[in-house]
Amino acid sequence: MQSQPTPVLTIGTRGSPLALAQAHEVRERLCTAHGLDPRAITIRVIKTSGDAIQDKPLSLVGGKGLFTREIEEQLLSGALDLAVHSAKDMPTRLPDGLMLSAFLEREDVRDAFLSLIAKSPDHLPERAVIGTSSLRRAAQMKRFRPDFSIVPFRGNVQTRLQKLADNVADATLLALAGLNRLGESHRATQILDTKKFPPAPAQGAICIETRSDDEATNRLVAALDHRETRQKVEAERGFLESLDGSCRTPIAALSRLDEGKLTLFGQLLSPDGKQAFEDEISGDADAGLALGRQLGESLKTEAGEDFLADLKRG
Protein backbone atom coordinates (compact mmCIF):
# COMPACT_ATOMS: atom_id res chain seq x y z
CA MET A 1 0.00 0.00 0.00
CA GLN A 2 1.32 3.44 -0.96
CA SER A 3 1.96 5.60 2.10
CA GLN A 4 0.27 8.94 2.50
CA PRO A 5 2.64 11.90 2.16
CA THR A 6 3.33 13.79 5.37
CA PRO A 7 1.21 16.98 5.45
CA VAL A 8 3.24 20.06 4.57
CA LEU A 9 0.52 22.62 5.17
CA THR A 10 -2.90 22.83 6.83
CA ILE A 11 -5.44 25.21 5.31
CA GLY A 12 -8.29 26.56 7.42
CA THR A 13 -11.62 27.49 5.85
CA ARG A 14 -15.31 27.85 6.50
CA GLY A 15 -17.43 24.87 5.49
CA SER A 16 -19.78 26.41 2.93
CA PRO A 17 -19.64 25.07 -0.63
CA LEU A 18 -18.11 28.35 -1.82
CA ALA A 19 -15.51 28.49 0.96
CA LEU A 20 -14.49 24.89 0.25
CA ALA A 21 -14.23 25.59 -3.49
CA GLN A 22 -11.92 28.51 -2.72
CA ALA A 23 -9.77 26.43 -0.34
CA HIS A 24 -9.43 23.68 -2.95
CA GLU A 25 -8.45 26.26 -5.57
CA VAL A 26 -5.68 27.53 -3.28
CA ARG A 27 -4.47 23.97 -2.63
CA GLU A 28 -4.37 23.23 -6.37
CA ARG A 29 -2.43 26.42 -7.08
CA LEU A 30 0.08 25.70 -4.32
CA CYS A 31 0.60 22.16 -5.62
CA THR A 32 1.10 23.42 -9.18
CA ALA A 33 3.50 26.19 -8.11
CA HIS A 34 5.66 23.97 -5.93
CA GLY A 35 5.22 20.46 -7.34
CA LEU A 36 3.45 19.18 -4.22
CA ASP A 37 1.21 16.13 -3.88
CA PRO A 38 -2.33 17.42 -3.10
CA ARG A 39 -2.51 14.93 -0.23
CA ALA A 40 0.34 16.81 1.45
CA ILE A 41 -1.95 19.81 2.01
CA THR A 42 -4.77 19.28 4.48
CA ILE A 43 -7.99 21.31 4.37
CA ARG A 44 -9.61 21.74 7.79
CA VAL A 45 -13.13 23.12 8.15
CA ILE A 46 -13.67 25.59 10.99
CA LYS A 47 -17.22 26.56 11.93
CA THR A 48 -17.42 30.30 12.47
CA SER A 49 -19.97 32.38 14.35
CA GLY A 50 -21.16 33.77 11.03
CA ASP A 51 -22.02 30.26 9.87
CA ALA A 52 -23.77 29.39 13.13
CA ILE A 53 -25.95 32.52 13.21
CA GLN A 54 -28.36 32.33 10.27
CA ASP A 55 -31.46 34.01 11.67
CA LYS A 56 -30.12 37.54 12.28
CA PRO A 57 -28.52 40.21 10.09
CA LEU A 58 -24.75 40.31 10.58
CA SER A 59 -24.95 44.04 11.30
CA LEU A 60 -26.77 43.23 14.54
CA VAL A 61 -24.44 40.52 15.82
CA GLY A 62 -20.89 41.58 15.12
CA GLY A 63 -20.21 42.25 11.44
CA LYS A 64 -17.36 40.98 9.29
CA GLY A 65 -15.28 39.41 12.06
CA LEU A 66 -17.94 36.73 12.54
CA PHE A 67 -16.60 34.92 9.46
CA THR A 68 -12.95 35.01 10.50
CA ARG A 69 -12.53 35.03 14.30
CA GLU A 70 -12.48 31.30 15.00
CA ILE A 71 -10.25 30.61 11.99
CA GLU A 72 -7.80 33.31 13.07
CA GLU A 73 -7.66 31.85 16.59
CA GLN A 74 -6.64 28.49 15.10
CA LEU A 75 -4.10 30.22 12.87
CA LEU A 76 -2.51 32.05 15.78
CA SER A 77 -2.37 28.85 17.86
CA GLY A 78 -0.39 27.08 15.14
CA ALA A 79 -3.15 24.56 14.39
CA LEU A 80 -3.38 26.05 10.87
CA ASP A 81 -0.65 27.29 8.54
CA LEU A 82 -2.86 29.47 6.37
CA ALA A 83 -6.48 30.52 6.04
CA VAL A 84 -8.45 31.13 2.86
CA HIS A 85 -11.11 33.84 2.87
CA SER A 86 -13.31 35.88 0.57
CA ALA A 87 -11.48 39.19 0.74
CA LYS A 88 -14.72 41.15 1.09
CA ASP A 89 -15.41 39.34 4.38
CA MET A 90 -12.14 40.47 5.97
CA PRO A 91 -12.11 43.18 8.64
CA THR A 92 -9.73 46.03 7.81
CA ARG A 93 -7.81 45.45 11.05
CA LEU A 94 -6.27 42.01 11.53
CA PRO A 95 -5.19 40.49 14.84
CA ASP A 96 -1.58 41.17 15.81
CA GLY A 97 0.71 38.60 14.24
CA LEU A 98 -1.42 37.93 11.15
CA MET A 99 -1.14 39.28 7.61
CA LEU A 100 -2.78 38.98 4.21
CA SER A 101 0.09 37.31 2.39
CA ALA A 102 -1.51 36.75 -1.02
CA PHE A 103 -4.45 37.69 -3.20
CA LEU A 104 -5.44 35.38 -6.06
CA GLU A 105 -6.29 36.97 -9.38
CA ARG A 106 -9.66 38.60 -8.99
CA GLU A 107 -12.82 37.05 -10.40
CA ASP A 108 -15.75 39.05 -11.82
CA VAL A 109 -16.61 41.89 -9.42
CA ARG A 110 -20.26 42.32 -10.41
CA ASP A 111 -23.43 41.44 -8.54
CA ALA A 112 -25.91 38.96 -10.00
CA PHE A 113 -29.67 39.52 -9.86
CA LEU A 114 -31.72 36.36 -9.28
CA SER A 115 -35.50 36.25 -9.68
CA LEU A 116 -38.16 33.76 -10.71
CA ILE A 117 -40.60 36.49 -11.81
CA ALA A 118 -38.55 39.27 -13.45
CA LYS A 119 -35.62 39.45 -15.84
CA SER A 120 -34.11 42.57 -14.21
CA PRO A 121 -34.72 44.97 -11.31
CA ASP A 122 -36.50 47.27 -13.80
CA HIS A 123 -39.10 44.58 -14.48
CA LEU A 124 -40.03 43.84 -10.88
CA PRO A 125 -43.58 44.80 -9.91
CA GLU A 126 -44.43 47.79 -7.74
CA ARG A 127 -43.42 47.30 -4.07
CA ALA A 128 -41.47 44.15 -4.91
CA VAL A 129 -39.58 42.46 -2.09
CA ILE A 130 -35.78 42.12 -2.33
CA GLY A 131 -34.13 39.50 -0.14
CA THR A 132 -30.65 40.51 1.05
CA SER A 133 -28.72 40.89 4.29
CA SER A 134 -26.19 43.23 2.66
CA LEU A 135 -26.79 46.84 3.66
CA ARG A 136 -24.95 47.97 0.53
CA ARG A 137 -27.19 45.96 -1.79
CA ALA A 138 -30.30 47.01 0.12
CA ALA A 139 -29.34 50.70 -0.03
CA GLN A 140 -28.47 50.53 -3.73
CA MET A 141 -31.76 48.81 -4.55
CA LYS A 142 -33.73 51.37 -2.52
CA ARG A 143 -31.84 54.14 -4.29
CA PHE A 144 -32.71 52.58 -7.65
CA ARG A 145 -36.37 51.96 -6.77
CA PRO A 146 -37.60 53.53 -3.49
CA ASP A 147 -40.76 51.40 -3.66
CA PHE A 148 -38.79 48.19 -3.05
CA SER A 149 -39.07 46.47 0.31
CA ILE A 150 -36.12 44.63 1.85
CA VAL A 151 -36.23 41.40 3.87
CA PRO A 152 -33.23 39.64 5.49
CA PHE A 153 -31.90 36.85 3.27
CA ARG A 154 -28.93 34.57 3.92
CA GLY A 155 -27.85 31.10 2.87
CA ASN A 156 -26.25 29.35 -0.10
CA VAL A 157 -27.49 29.49 -3.69
CA GLN A 158 -29.93 26.59 -3.34
CA THR A 159 -31.36 27.96 -0.08
CA ARG A 160 -31.96 31.35 -1.64
CA LEU A 161 -33.59 29.89 -4.74
CA GLN A 162 -35.91 27.88 -2.52
CA LYS A 163 -36.83 31.03 -0.60
CA LEU A 164 -37.68 32.69 -3.92
CA ALA A 165 -39.83 29.68 -4.85
CA ASP A 166 -41.54 29.94 -1.44
CA ASN A 167 -42.36 33.62 -2.13
CA VAL A 168 -40.25 34.90 0.76
CA ALA A 169 -38.95 37.50 -1.70
CA ASP A 170 -39.32 38.40 -5.36
CA ALA A 171 -35.59 38.67 -6.03
CA THR A 172 -32.19 38.38 -4.40
CA LEU A 173 -28.60 39.38 -5.15
CA LEU A 174 -25.35 37.41 -5.04
CA ALA A 175 -21.74 38.03 -6.01
CA LEU A 176 -21.23 36.72 -9.54
CA ALA A 177 -17.73 35.56 -8.54
CA GLY A 178 -19.22 33.08 -6.10
CA LEU A 179 -21.65 31.74 -8.68
CA ASN A 180 -18.81 31.34 -11.16
CA ARG A 181 -16.65 29.43 -8.67
CA LEU A 182 -19.54 27.08 -7.91
CA GLY A 183 -20.44 26.54 -11.57
CA GLU A 184 -23.80 28.21 -10.90
CA SER A 185 -23.57 31.32 -13.07
CA HIS A 186 -26.55 30.10 -15.11
CA ARG A 187 -28.69 30.92 -12.05
CA ALA A 188 -28.21 34.66 -12.67
CA THR A 189 -31.21 36.33 -14.25
CA GLN A 190 -29.19 39.47 -14.98
CA ILE A 191 -25.65 40.68 -14.30
CA LEU A 192 -25.80 44.16 -12.80
CA ASP A 193 -23.86 47.11 -14.22
CA THR A 194 -21.17 48.35 -11.80
CA LYS A 195 -21.96 51.94 -12.76
CA LYS A 196 -25.41 51.61 -11.20
CA PHE A 197 -24.57 48.97 -8.61
CA PRO A 198 -20.89 49.17 -7.65
CA PRO A 199 -19.64 46.17 -5.64
CA ALA A 200 -18.44 45.76 -2.08
CA PRO A 201 -14.79 46.60 -1.44
CA ALA A 202 -12.61 43.59 -2.44
CA GLN A 203 -15.56 41.68 -3.94
CA GLY A 204 -14.47 38.81 -6.19
CA ALA A 205 -11.03 38.36 -4.62
CA ILE A 206 -9.74 35.41 -2.59
CA CYS A 207 -7.13 36.22 0.03
CA ILE A 208 -4.73 34.06 2.03
CA GLU A 209 -4.01 34.91 5.67
CA THR A 210 -0.89 33.67 7.45
CA ARG A 211 1.22 34.36 10.53
CA SER A 212 3.61 37.24 9.91
CA ASP A 213 6.57 35.32 11.35
CA ASP A 214 5.94 32.07 9.46
CA GLU A 215 8.64 32.56 6.84
CA ALA A 216 8.39 29.07 5.34
CA THR A 217 4.64 29.31 4.66
CA ASN A 218 4.89 32.90 3.47
CA ARG A 219 7.52 31.91 0.90
CA LEU A 220 5.23 29.19 -0.47
CA VAL A 221 2.18 31.45 -0.53
CA ALA A 222 4.02 34.36 -2.18
CA ALA A 223 3.98 32.47 -5.49
CA LEU A 224 0.19 32.88 -5.61
CA ASP A 225 0.07 36.63 -5.04
CA HIS A 226 -1.41 38.53 -8.01
CA ARG A 227 0.09 42.01 -7.95
CA GLU A 228 -2.69 43.88 -9.78
CA THR A 229 -5.38 42.33 -7.60
CA ARG A 230 -3.42 43.27 -4.47
CA GLN A 231 -3.05 46.86 -5.68
CA LYS A 232 -6.78 47.20 -6.37
CA VAL A 233 -7.95 45.46 -3.22
CA GLU A 234 -5.57 47.37 -0.94
CA ALA A 235 -6.99 50.64 -2.30
CA GLU A 236 -10.55 49.49 -1.67
CA ARG A 237 -9.68 48.24 1.83
CA GLY A 238 -7.99 51.57 2.57
CA PHE A 239 -11.24 53.31 1.63
CA LEU A 240 -13.21 50.94 3.84
CA GLU A 241 -10.81 51.41 6.75
CA SER A 242 -11.04 55.20 6.55
CA LEU A 243 -14.83 55.03 6.77
CA ASP A 244 -14.64 52.61 9.70
CA GLY A 245 -16.47 50.21 7.43
CA SER A 246 -18.47 47.44 9.01
CA CYS A 247 -21.64 45.56 8.21
CA ARG A 248 -23.49 48.61 9.59
CA THR A 249 -22.20 50.86 6.80
CA PRO A 250 -23.41 50.72 3.17
CA ILE A 251 -20.13 51.15 1.26
CA ALA A 252 -19.15 50.32 -2.32
CA ALA A 253 -15.75 50.63 -3.97
CA LEU A 254 -14.12 49.64 -7.22
CA SER A 255 -10.58 50.16 -8.55
CA ARG A 256 -9.24 50.02 -12.07
CA LEU A 257 -5.66 50.06 -13.35
CA ASP A 258 -4.30 51.66 -16.48
CA GLU A 259 -0.54 51.70 -17.20
CA GLY A 260 0.51 51.95 -13.57
CA LYS A 261 -2.21 54.45 -12.67
CA LEU A 262 -4.91 53.37 -10.24
CA THR A 263 -8.35 54.99 -10.18
CA LEU A 264 -10.59 54.26 -7.22
CA PHE A 265 -14.33 54.92 -7.14
CA GLY A 266 -15.98 55.03 -3.73
CA GLN A 267 -19.59 55.27 -2.62
CA LEU A 268 -21.14 55.84 0.80
CA LEU A 269 -24.91 55.50 1.18
CA SER A 270 -27.58 55.92 3.79
CA PRO A 271 -29.32 52.60 4.54
CA ASP A 272 -32.55 53.80 2.91
CA GLY A 273 -30.69 54.84 -0.25
CA LYS A 274 -31.94 58.41 -0.05
CA GLN A 275 -28.46 59.86 0.39
CA ALA A 276 -25.37 58.88 -1.57
CA PHE A 277 -21.89 60.37 -1.56
CA GLU A 278 -19.44 59.24 -4.22
CA ASP A 279 -16.23 60.33 -5.85
CA GLU A 280 -13.07 59.10 -7.60
CA ILE A 281 -9.38 59.48 -6.95
CA SER A 282 -6.37 58.56 -9.09
CA GLY A 283 -2.71 58.03 -8.39
CA ASP A 284 0.23 55.64 -8.44
CA ALA A 285 -0.88 52.00 -8.32
CA ASP A 286 1.55 51.18 -5.51
CA ALA A 287 0.03 53.90 -3.31
CA GLY A 288 -3.44 52.33 -3.28
CA LEU A 289 -3.82 52.12 0.48
CA ALA A 290 -3.07 55.83 0.89
CA LEU A 291 -5.37 56.72 -2.02
CA GLY A 292 -8.19 54.73 -0.47
CA ARG A 293 -7.78 56.43 2.88
CA GLN A 294 -7.66 59.83 1.21
CA LEU A 295 -10.88 59.17 -0.70
CA GLY A 296 -12.55 57.91 2.45
CA GLU A 297 -11.61 61.04 4.38
CA SER A 298 -12.92 63.19 1.52
CA LEU A 299 -16.31 61.46 1.52
CA LYS A 300 -16.51 61.62 5.32
CA THR A 301 -16.05 65.38 5.10
CA GLU A 302 -18.66 65.65 2.37
CA ALA A 303 -21.20 63.50 4.23
CA GLY A 304 -20.73 65.35 7.51
CA GLU A 305 -20.63 64.30 11.15
CA ASP A 306 -24.41 63.93 11.56
CA PHE A 307 -24.64 61.46 8.66
CA LEU A 308 -21.82 59.31 10.05
CA ALA A 309 -23.23 59.44 13.60
CA ASP A 310 -26.59 58.20 12.29
CA LEU A 311 -24.86 55.28 10.57
CA LYS A 312 -23.08 54.26 13.76
CA ARG A 313 -26.33 54.35 15.71
CA GLY A 314 -27.73 51.96 13.11
Cα–Cα distance, 117 to 140 (Å, whole number): 20
Phi and psi at residue 130, to the nearest 5°:
-105, 130
Cα–Cα distance, 99 to 299 (Å, whole number): 28
Contact 182, 18 (CB under 8 A): yes
Exposed, middle or buried: residue 98 (CB in 10 Å: 0-12, 13-18, 19+)?
Answer: middle
Q: Which of 285, 132, 74 is nearest to 140 (CA)?
A: 132
* Active site amino acids: 89
Contact 84, 26 (CB under 8 A): yes
* 314: number of Cβ within 10 Å: 12
